[in-house]
Chains A and B, each alone.
Chain A
């Protein structure tokens, strides 16, 4: 009995420890960004065991690895310059939980603090090594006071960095005032409000999506974070100095947080991420455009098993477009432009978008991409079903016709056996990067088709031969894997065949570098460019992508990615799982 009791007590204690193990309680409630890795050591090992980890360490990547390490983009070097340590030391000394938290040190600056579990001995070594590094880089010991024993350095760029070994691990902080708040808070429970007290964080952790401790948990007060970044980048309009920053306008502030849990090399998944977007109703203004509907998510038969990626998203298009006017005016810096445009469309062209076209469309967007090997084309198609097509197909076609008939940049052609024209237009993204020189739009077979490449509309509408994706073994396997997260509240399902999906961008990047990507006419290319875009004070990476191995050598490492989006009481969850394709065959 006593043994049972002591066992129960032990379990209770364990549970209590486990519960208390959330490092969110060590950081204040105004933490804007929080990422915590449960076990840094095993996390590294798990990362290496993933397909991406294997790819990175594979022999064909040797050349590129060294190129990448040498390049300006080297993460370690930047970390060392700012905080005195790098990832190599972390790998050497960190044993348990690793947490990084971003807090506002000034209205336009986010300062990072790290709390790393390690032995006292390791901590001392790391403190000593960092001290040497900082002094070598021109830093000096500071005489700033701190509640507990700490080493504080003044860096040459007027920043400070603090190292203090605490009961909860080694605290490294880029801001002494923030570190003081954190450490003082730990000993003053009565006045301490941790991140755990934040409602959005509580909602996120209330219903863990899986049993067991996640490898990684994270949370971001994205709106506040965006405000800080906005100010830092100086994008606050000088014409409207009193206006709140963009992320606080248009109802976006209704997003109270985005966060989630991640697992690595777990249960057959390379990565599994449960992302929660917390935006409890009632939603205002632009947030109302995120109006998703649960329902059938089976890819239609025109999506064949040769697809690179497919997504079925049940989105109310009328809500989407009827609520983005203010954002549009804001982004284009043209107040009143959206309403004026809608009115002119309606009055001059007879094209009523909001109350004419959109109500005739089903709330279903099917996005589907493929790769044409011979033409080296990565194509993406969006298909939207027309409600009651027998009656309304011609009306939709007529509206599209009215919209485009006077467009001197639109070319049309008639496909065999089709009632309505296929329109080819040039589409460009705002950055002037990749342009889709022959995008297509057409009404046929009860749907409105829009594609980055008119040829794709043509292929699909004319009924290219192939097996439906929904009947393929790969799709079934993916659906099964994602089944635990698929509910009657699911509004989105995604299927990605990584090797097909990345191929075009990979090959263009390898043969033509970043410049080539600008001409690649690829959605991925555009996204990659956005990620790699140089910002102020940081030069465009001069990485030599030609050192990447041929695609055939690395193809096997790009696996499957499945995703499911669900409606929740306070917002939406998106679960994304990546796994090795070999395991589905």
Chain B
């Protein structure tokens, strides 16, 4: 009965939660169905230009005070940017100028994260999207007008008669209905294909600045962390293992008893993930001993005592995106004390008697002395243990802020959320990049890879990152780009990328990856490709690799379905000619396979190298997720 009473409010709560969710979803799809196309106006565009100009002014005035200001101005291409902002043109030059500075404002350069510069970057991202949108609107209107002219030229062309170019409004309407239907479907049962289409449509609405109020809610509802890195408990323990050896002198003078000697502390500290009250909670555990040797003297008696104290200590640490918190530590000590030697100044029988009495006296004092020893050992240890951990965690925080957070900010790759999660088996860093629209990994992957380190990444992560790094970007030399990204290519790999091969990426979804059925498919979208520096027309190239296990090693084997397709409405004569050549060349030249070879410890950073050589224990893809496990052999180089 008691249980029922407890359960009722709980059930009620669940009901409310379910009802409110359904109401939210219905509300969402209704709002989508009712939404109308919102073209970008000249005024909005001008507002963004003005905002970018203000930000540019602030950035310039900040740079004025820096010694390297003029070089920065040049590097950030401020002059052409000024020209673009001063003009109301919506053309390729303006878009290129804004894009060029926008990308120069992202990179691993000291100082690029200054607020004046990141603010400018944000304004340029907005302006660029607006310019592209405005150009699309112009193109769309022009296409319609052109279609009319074309009909005048070739009134009997059956294809012309049959196809009237769609306006952005029409494209919006079509997508809007499909979007709403898919979302309705997602409430009960959505397939990975549905989710992919939702992500694709979301990207379209985002780049076309439509449904701006609904999209964040859809992301909140269906989005989830799309990258997770798991560090197993044993691996965390190995990586964080710290050996402690400390020697401390003992010098005491109490009640006319002089004691000198030393205490030697040896032990090991390790960190362990736990299920605590907060997510991201770990415990630093210390286990060790203190060996004390004490030489004392009182009156005519001198003695030697030995003590062994077993020390265990724990201290909890909570990792979170905005802070790392350390809780107070606890310590347990248990000492053993024995008398090694008792001597007296007196000789003969008196001496014997004195030694006997002294030994008894000492033995009488020992329980107290043992307690004292345990207390003293644990007190002094706990103090230092606390201080050390606080200091180390503070240092780790500084590293996290400087190395991770600041780098992500500099690269303009900040995740929308970053969480530390723990259970007794692992510590997980879970990140969500952009909307993160994905089905949960556990529902599509039969079993997650085990090992010291596990990586579970949804294809939307790579899509989001590439969108930020490459959308609309022109890369003259793909070989050099690999260098810039810090990817070291072997001479053989370099040869496989033709010299002078470049790409001007598409404005939307420049690189997409699909993880499905143990295949990895990659789509590269280029508005212009360069082969031997010769520009080719707009093309999308799709190729894929299948994951196979061979001789205990995972190998990605290229599939033969390399496809070169035209972006919508761009399948022209030159495209066909170039596609037929490129497709055949790619089939001949794309690497036939990649091996997931073990990563030698020497190539790993400290302290990860303590895991030894990392072998890829499993790689799998399904339902949009890639999951890989790495297991170390603990063999140190």
Interface residues in chain A, defined as those with a beta carbon under 8 Å from any beta carbon in chain B: 239, 332-338, 340-341, 344-345, 348-351, 394, 397-398, 401-410, 412, 414, 419-421, 425-426, 428-432
Contact = CB atoms under 8 A, between A and B. Distances in A.
A408 B537 contact: yes
Contact of A432 (B146, B534, B566): B534
B574 to A, nearest CB: 5
B534 A401 contact: no
A334 to B, nearest CB: 4
11 contacts: A337-B581, A340-B580, A345-B577, A348-B571, A349-B571, A397-B154, A404-B572, A407-B570, A408-B572, A428-B535, A430-B534
Contacts of B577: 341, 345
A402 B153 CA distance: 12
A336 B579 CA distance: 12
Residue from A398, A407, A410 having most chain B Cβ neighbours under 10 A: A407
A334 B575 contact: no
Contacts of A349: 571-573, 576
A408 B585 CA distance: 23
Contacts of B534: 428-430, 432
B150 interface: yes
Given A406-B566, A406-B570, A428-B534, A348 B576 contact: yes
B569 A406 contact: yes
Contacts of A428: 534-535
A580 B141 CA distance: 57
A408 B536 CA distance: 10
A407 B576 contact: no
B165 to A, nearest CB: 11
B580 A344 contact: yes
Contacts of B575: 406-407
B154 A408 contact: no
B372 to A, nearest CB: 83
A396 to B, nearest CB: 12
Contacts of A336: 580, 584
Interface in B115-167: 146, 149-150, 153-154, 157, 159
A77 to B, nearest CB: 31
Contacts of A419: 153
A562 to B, nearest CB: 35
Contacts of A337: 580-581, 584
A333 B150 contact: no
Interface in B521-556: 527-528, 532-535, 537-538
B351 interface: no
B581 A334 contact: yes
Contact of A333 (B535, B566, B588): B588
A404 B584 contact: no
A341 B567 CA distance: 18
Nearest to A420: B153
A335 B532 CA distance: 19
Nearest to A353: B573
A398 B150 CA distance: 10
B571 A406 contact: yes
Nearest to B568: A406
Contacts of A429: 534
B93 to A, nearest CB: 14
A421 B527 CA distance: 24
Given A337-B580, A337-B584, A401 B150 contact: yes
Contact of B580 (A341, A403, A409): A341
Interface residues of B, number: 35
B216 to A, nearest CB: 33
Contacts of A338: 580
A293 B146 CA distance: 40
A335 B584 contact: yes
B154 A334 contact: no
A419 B583 CA distance: 37
Contacts of A431: 532
A177 to B, nearest CB: 38
A410 B154 contact: no
A247 B535 CA distance: 28
Nearest to A332: B581
A367 B465 CA distance: 51
Contacts of B584: 332-337
B500 interface: yes
A585 to B, nearest CB: 44
Given A333-B585, A334-B584, A408-B537, A401 B154 contact: yes
B535 A403 contact: no
Interface in B294-319: none
Residue from A344, A351, A398, A408 having most chain B Cβ neighbours under 10 A: A408
B560 to A, nearest CB: 14
A408 B570 contact: yes
Contacts of A350: 159
Contacts of A402: 159, 573
A50 to B, nearest CB: 39
Contacts of B159: 350, 402
A344 B581 CA distance: 13
Given A406-B575, A407-B575, A414-B149, 8 more contacts: A335-B584, A351-B573, A398-B157, A404-B574, A407-B537, A407-B570, A408-B527, A425-B574
B427 to A, nearest CB: 49
Contact of A334 (B500, B566, B572, B580): B580
Given A401-B150, A420-B153, A408 B581 contact: no
Given A337-B580, A432-B500, A404 B573 contact: yes
B135 to A, nearest CB: 13
Contacts of B570: 406-408
A421 B149 CA distance: 10
Contacts of B500: 432
Nearest to B582: A334
Nearest to A350: B159
B430 to A, nearest CB: 40
A26 B465 CA distance: 73
Nearest to B527: A408
A409 B533 contact: no
B573 A403 contact: yes
Contacts of B576: 341, 344-345, 348-349
A540 to B, nearest CB: 17
A337 B581 CA distance: 6
The 9 closest A-B pairs by CB, nearest first: A432-B533, A403-B573, A334-B584, A407-B572, A406-B572, A337-B580, A334-B581, A344-B576, A341-B580
B566 A398 contact: no
B585 A334 contact: yes
Residue from B146, B500, B581, B583 having most chain A Cβ neighbours under 10 A: B581
Nearest to A397: B153
A368 B500 CA distance: 33
Residue from B528, B537, B571, B573 having most chain A Cβ neighbours under 10 A: B573
A407 B532 CA distance: 21
Contact of A410 (B149, B569, B572, B581): B572
A401 B579 CA distance: 19
B431 to A, nearest CB: 36
A219 to B, nearest CB: 35
